[in-house]
C-alpha cells in the first residue's frame, strides 16, 4: 500500500473581511498578521500609535489588503463608525474581533476607586464593544454569507480577571466578566442565524502594556507562580486561537470561553 500524500492543514480565511479592534500593538497586531497570513482582508483601529499602525498595515499588504483606521473606541457610536469604515474599505464584514481595552496598571482599592476611572474603563471595555458588535451583527445579517459554513464570526477577548476577579482592579475585572456573559447571550441569540460568537480569555501575556509589570522580578515572580506553565503567553499564542475560532474547523463551537492561560484558571 502506497503512502498517502500529506499536504498539511490550512486555516484559510480567503475571501473574508475581518475587523480587529486594538490592532496596532500586542495581541491585536499579532492577530492582524495571522489573519492576513490566512488570506483575510483586515481593517484594524488605533488610537495613539499611528506610526506603528501604518507600518503594520504596509507590512500586511497595504491598502488593498490591510487598512489602519484612526478611531478611538469609547462610545457605542464610535464602534458603529469603525464598522462603517471597515465595510466602506472592503465592502463587507465576516469576522469581528473585539480585542481593544484598557487595564489601569495602578492599584485602585474599591474604597478609593474614582467614578472617573470606573466610567472610563466601562466606556472603553464595554460600551464601545456593544456598539461595535451591534453594528457588526447588523452588517452580517444584511449580506450574503462568504461561505456556506457561517454568516459571520464574533470573537471577544476577555481575561482570567473576568473569571476569578482581580483585587484592586475591580473595574477591569467587571468589564471582562461582562464580556463572558455577553458571549453566551449572543451565542444563544445568533447561532441559529449562522453567526458564531465565542470568547478567548487570556491570562498574563507579554506585551507593551505588561512589560513594566513582568520585568519587575518582585512583582512578576508571585504572578508567574500562579501559572502552572511558569511563564506569560506570547502574543501569537493568543492570536492563533482567535483565528481558529473563525475557521470551519470550529464549526461546532459556539458560546465557548476558550481559556488560554497556561493552566492558571480551569473554568468556562
Active site residues: 172
Across the beta sheet with 257-260, the strand order is: 66-70, 41-46, 17-20, 95-98, 152-157, 195-202, 257-260
Q: Give alpha helix (H) positions in 12-98.
A: 26-37, 50-59, 76-90
Instruction: Look at the alpha carbons of 135, 139, 141, 145 in this order and tell me if their dihedral is positive or negative.
Output: negative
State the Cα–Cα distance between residues 25 and 56, nearest whole angstrom.
9
Q: Do residues 139 and 87 lie in contact, with contact meaning Cβ atoms separated by under 8 Å?
A: yes
First to last CA, the chain: 45
Q: Return the DSSP state at 229.
A: T
Positions of E strands within the chain? 17-20, 41-46, 66-70, 95-98, 152-157, 195-202, 257-260
Q: What is the C-alpha R_g of the chain?
A: 18
CA atoms of 122 and 114, how far apart (whole Å): 12
Amino acid at each position: 500500500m502506497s503512502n498517502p500524500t500529506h499536504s498539511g492543514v490550512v486555516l484559510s480565511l480567503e475571501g473574508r473581511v475581518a475587523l480587529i479592534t486594538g490592532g496596532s500593538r500586542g495581541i491585536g497586531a499579532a492577530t492582524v498578521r495571522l489573519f492576513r497570513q490566512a488570506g483575510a482582508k483586515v481593517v484594524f483601529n488605533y488610537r495613539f500609535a499611528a506610526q506603528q499602525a501604518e507600518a503594520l498595515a504596509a507590512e500586511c499588504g497595504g491598502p488593498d489588503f490591510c487598512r489602519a483606521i484612526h478611531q478611538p473606541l469609547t462610545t457605542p457610536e464610535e464602534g458603529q463608525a469603525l464598522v462603517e469604515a471597515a465595510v466602506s474599505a472592503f465592502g463587507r464584514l465576516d469576522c469581528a474581533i473585539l480585542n481593544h481595552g484598557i487595564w489601569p496598571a495602578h492599584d485602585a482599592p474599591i474604597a478609593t476607586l474614582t467614578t472617573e476611572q470606573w466610567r472610563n474603563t466601562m466606556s472603553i471595555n464595554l460600551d464601545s464593544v456593544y456598539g461595535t458588535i451591534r453594528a457588526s451583527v447588523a452588517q452580517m445579517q444584511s449580506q450574503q454569507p462568504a461561505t456556506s459554513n457561517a454568516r459571520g464570526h464574533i470573537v471577544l477577548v476577555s481575561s482570567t480577571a473576568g473569571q476569578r476577579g482581580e483585587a484592586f482592579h475591580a473595574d477591569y475585572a467587571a468589564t471582562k466578566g461582562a464580556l463572558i456573559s455577553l458571549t453566551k447571550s449572543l451565542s444563544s441569540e445568533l447561532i441559529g442565524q449562522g453567526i458564531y460568537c465565542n470568547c478567548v480569555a487570556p491570562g498574563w501575556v507579554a506585551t507593551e502594556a505588561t512589560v513594566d509589570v513582568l520585568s519587575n522580578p518582585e512583582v512578576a515572580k508571585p504572578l508567574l507562580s500562579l501559572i502552572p506553565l511558569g511563564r506569560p503567553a506570547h502574543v501569537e499564542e493568543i492570536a492563533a486561537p482567535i483565528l481558529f475560532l473563525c475557521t470551519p474547523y470550529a464549526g461546532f463551537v459556539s458560546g465557548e470561553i476558550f481559556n488560554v492561560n497556561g493552566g492558571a484558571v480551569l473554568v468556562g
